[in-house]
Structure 1
Amino acid sequence: MTDDDEHRPTGAFPLTGHIQRLLQRVRAFDRRRPLVWDGLLTTFWVLFAVLDVSTGGWRSVALDPDVPASLVLAMSVTFSAPLLWRRSHPLAVLLFMAPFSLVNIWTGAVIQAAFLQEIVVFNIALRQPMRALAWSGAIVLAPLVIGSGHFPDDWDRVFVPHLYAFAFAALVGIVVRTRKEYTEALVDRANRLELERDQQAQLAAAAERTRIAREMHDIIGHNLSVITGLADGGAYAAAKSPERAAQALDAIGTTSRQALAELRRLLGVLRDPPDRADRTPQPTLDDIDALLEGVRNAGLPVHLNRHGTPPPVPLTPGRQLTVYRVMQEGLTNTLKHAATDESLAAEVTLTYRPTELEVLITDNGTLHPTDAPPAGTGQGITGMRERASLYDGTLEAGRPAATGWQVRLRLPLEDSPS
């Protein structure tokens, strides 16, 4: 006995489960080979009708037992053989049976094969519009009304059983149809939910990949630029001031360790379980001074200006991170050219307005036009624009004058109503 058998509750396979599986197999076979199933069903009822005639069982309920056996046999075959087309042409089958139904009642034979009309009625209720079901009722009951007039004393034996049989067949067809449509709706809804779930998972994965790529670019790109600036400055100062070279090497070591620590923390969040990942807070506006100090140590003079009054309610962590990363990326781009331009300097201006915060990063570089990248291109500028758009902000980057590069971020202090 397996563990599954030990934990399986009593009655895990009730009789209804076996019946459901059997019905599913029958439906599957019917979908694969409809003609085979229709042929088997029709053959069964033809044999049943013929057997009823050959044994004389029809005489036990007949109003007139002296009806010729050949006529009874013809009517029995007429009621059973057309079942082969009950699904493709149900109304036509009922119309074909209607005259024989009238003869059946009028002669007093009242054979039981006439109830096979209700199989066609069931198929109409299951697959056809309600209007077709109403027409089928008229086709089935009209001959009964006319024929029962020939036997006024026995109309209840002639009309009422067929009326009940028609109502029962129609009701069962409607119930099965409703259940089938409800099941199909549930399956369709489940498929759509599964598709939407997969799409949401793909969108979330794409957004997460973009976010990780942006963070990796900001962390590694900035720190490598700082290290490059320090290395170039140390090599330049080594011949004249060994002390400055030693300071540059110390700064390179410190910056490298910081970059590795940030990279390990980012990778740890992706690799480790949530309860074990290092979740050091992301940079905020309070870390701007440390950022500028690191850029200055790398050899780029930076001046910070603040205008306006900060809002009483601090900016959300996401907005503060956006400001920090944009400022970091803008200064990193400037720092890349510091080694070739000793006079290069940068200026950062933070301006608080009633509804927005503006960050302006400018430098006095003299990059040749043929060396300048097209405005709006590059992974860094794209990442800055993506960060700004997350909070309905705008970012402009370019060279507004003959010299100097400028990055301008405008960030709303609160979410817009949209």
Structure 2
Amino acid sequence: MWLRAHPWVGDSLLALLLFLFDSASSRGRYDPVSETFVQAVSSSDYTLGSLLMITPLVVRRRKPVLAAYVTLFGGVFVLVTHGPYAVHPGSFALAIMLYTLLTCSTRRVAVAYATWLLIGTVLFAFVMSREHGVAVFPFVVFGPVAVFAVFWMTGEFVGARRAYHSEVEQRLRLLEHERDQQAKIAVVEERNRIARELHDVVAHAVSVMIVQADGASYAMKTNPEIASKALGTISDTGRKALGELRRLVGVLRNDSETNAEYAPQPDASALGELVEKMRQVGLPVRLTMTGDLADLPTGVGLTVYRLVQEALTNTLKHAGPGASAQVVVARAENQIEVEVTDDGLGRVNGSLVSGGNGLIGMRERVAVYNGVLEAGPRLGGGWRVRAVLPLPGESAP
């Protein structure tokens, strides 16, 4: 609402209305004992006190403490100057300020203000008892205290309701922030997964194609049959890599494109085919598999396959001519161990540290299952990659 966005307008109307009522009663003063208005002479002191009490209502929400104590000062001024006639419509500003402190400030400030109001009420009752006798003292105290109590309870209710709504809004903002963060994390994780898949597929395929192309170029004139076989391997590898790329690109498409075809993910059972392909491109590989590898969880099986694929790809690229590799995959009761070794140069890109993302991708895959990965040169030459993956439900070895 417009008034809620501009609270000073409503407060100004409230102050104007209260001032009009107060001005109308300036010809008489309310006597709480006789419960009637009695004639009194108007004065500039009364007008000044009324303005001091009512005018701060305009800024009561922007500066609640200052406005409250200016109003209190106006009440004291009227009490001093008018004595038994200090109670008039403008006095309701004191109760309104008590309500304002409860809703716009702290309870400690409101308690201090209420204490001053109680002291002022007792002083007013003392003045009235001197005019009409001590018997009127409790009755004079009860009226203002009852009004202040009503405004206090109203302020407590409104303040508690505002605090509740503020807490609910804060929790909603927090939940929305957490939802956005979880969505961002999910996007990053999916992008990393796709990046790993792309690296494994492309790096393996391109490495095979490069090795075969180099071999074909050397054998083109001396042995055309070997060159033709190498070109066939390049063609077959390229087609399969293209199929994998299409599958991964299909994952990135919109959900509405439901006609995208997805190739099945490889697992440990496809290691024999992978090793055979590496042999065809000129890397002698010996594969040893022990234990039941047929019923591995899909994610674990894919991780085993990608680890062996990446390790053999690195061997093909960096081990040098004449190198051979050995792959050992063994399953125990609570874990599966993968080890790939070669007898090549024992270096990656001419150094002991790889400049690519292959080892990083392997570590990320192993970390997903709380596993352990070791990769580095072997004593005596060659390279060794060893990973231990705990099976689901088991702790890391």
TM-score, normalised via structure 1 length:
0.79
**Contact 2:65–2:101, Cα closer than 8 Å, also in 1:** no
CA separation in 1, counterparts of 2:374 and 2:299? 20
| Contact 1:122/1:173, CA 8 A, preserved across alignment | yes
Instruction: Say which of 108, 118, 131 aligns to 2:95.
Output: 118
Does structure 1 residue 49 correspond to structure 2 residue 29?
no
Q: For residue 96 of structure 1, what is the aligned residue in structure 2?
A: 73
Question: 2:154, 2:182 → 1: CA distance?
Answer: 41
CA contact (8 A) 1:375 1:397 kept: no
Alignment of 1:29-40 (within 5 A): 30=8
Q: Partner of 1:196 in structure 2? A: 178
Pairs within 5 Å for 1:285-364: 285-307=268-290, 309-310=291-292, 314-337=295-318, 341=321, 343-364=322-343
Q: Is 1:22–2:2 an aligned residue pair?
A: yes
Q: What does 1:123-134 correspond to in 2, within 5 Å?
A: 123-134=100-111
- Note the alpha carbon deviations across 1:200-254, whole angstroms, 9 max, x for none: 2222222222111111110111011122222233344444443333322222222
Whether the aligned pair in 1 keeps the contact of 2:18 and 2:54 (CA below 8 Å) is yes
Counterpart of 2:261 in 1: which secondary structure?
coil
Letter of the 1:124 counterpart: L
Q: Provide the residue aligned with 1:269 in structure 2.
A: 251
Is contact 2:328–2:340 with CA below 8 Å preserved after alignment?
yes
SS of match in other structure, 2:271: helix
CA–CA distance in structure 2, aligned partners of residues 196 and 145 of structure 1: 58
Q: Post-superposition shift, 1:288?
A: 0.6
Q: Is the 1:94–1:139 Cα contact (8 Å) retained in structure 2?
A: no
CA distance in 2 between partners of 1:304 and 1:375 (Å): 26
The worse-fitting range, judged by mean Cα deviation, of 257-266 and 73-82 is 73-82
Q: Please, what is the CA RMSD of the aligned residues?
A: 3.4
Per mean C-alpha deviation after superposition, the further-off stretch among 120-129 and 63-72 is 63-72
Partner of residue 414 from structure 1, selected from 388, 392, 397? 392
- Tell me: CA distance 1:276–1:373, structure 2 relative to 1, closer, same or farther (3 Å): farther
- 1:10-64: CA deviation from partner (whole Å, max 9, x where unpaired): xxxxxxxxxxx1342223xx4xxxxx8877765654454234315x586898657
2:122 to 142, 151, 157: 142
Aligned partners of 2:53 and 2:74 also within 8 Å: yes
Deviations 1:320-349 (A, max 9, x none): 1111001001111111257x61x2211111
Q: 1:398 aligns with which of 376, 386, 391?
A: 376
Q: What is the letter of the counterpart of residue 268 of structure 1?
A: G
Q: CA deviation at 1:180?
A: 2.0
Instruction: Tell me: CA distance 1:167–1:277, structure 2 relative to 1, closer, same or farther (3 Å).
Output: farther
Q: Distance in 2 between matches of 1:267 and 1:397?
A: 31
Task: Please list the CA deviations of residues 100-151 of structure 1 after superposition, one character each: whole Å capped at 9, or x if unmatched.
Answer: 5656895356422222211211112223433443443343332354345344
What stretches of structure 1 of length at least 5 have no aligned partner?
1-20, 31-35
Change (3 A) 1:105 1:40: same
Secondary structure, counterpart of 1:88 in structure 2: helix
Mapped partners of 1:391, 1:179: distance in 2: 48
> 1:234 is matched with which residue?
216
CA distance in 1 between partners of 2:56 and 2:181 (Å)? 50
Task: Give unpaired runs (5+ residues) of structure 2.
Answer: none
Amino acid at match of 1:92: Y
> Which moved further from structure 2: 230-239 or 172-181?
230-239
After the TM superposition, which of the residue ranges 164-173 and 383-392 deviates more from structure 2?
Answer: 164-173
Aligned to 2:160: 178
- How far did residue 267 of structure 1 move? 0.6
2:276 partner letter: E
Residues 1:108 and 1:350: Cα distance change in structure 2 (over 3 Å) = closer
Match of 1:282 in 2: 265
C-alpha contact (below 8 Å) 1:346/1:364 kept by paired residues: yes
Distance, in Å, in 1 between the alignment partners of 2:181 and 2:207 is 38
Equivalent position SS for 1:406 = strand
Cα distance change, pair 80–151 in 1 and its aligned pair in 2 (3 A): farther
CA distance in 1, matches of 2:231, 2:348: 34
The answer to whether the 8 Å contact 2:304/2:338 transfers is yes
User: Does the aligned pair in 2 maintain the 1:233–1:248 contact within 8 Å?
Assistant: yes
TM-score by length of structure 2 reads: 0.83
Q: Distance in 2 between matches of 1:408 and 1:64?
A: 100
What amino acid does structure 2 have at the position aligned with 1:243? E
Cα offset, 1:386, TM superposition:
0.7
Q: CA deviation at 1:289?
A: 0.7
- Give the Cα–Cα distance (whole angstroms) in 1 for the partners of residues 191 and 185 of structure 2: 10
Which amino acid in the other structure matches residue 294 of structure 1?
K
Work out which of the residue numbers 32, 41, 44 in structure 2 matches 1:68: 41
Aligned equivalents of 2:172 and 2:225: distance in 1?
71
Aligned counterparts of 2:366 and 2:348: Cα–Cα separation in 1: 29
Paired with 1:252 and 1:374, the residues of 2 have a C-alpha distance of: 30
Measured after TM superposition, the shift of residue 261 of structure 1 is 0.9
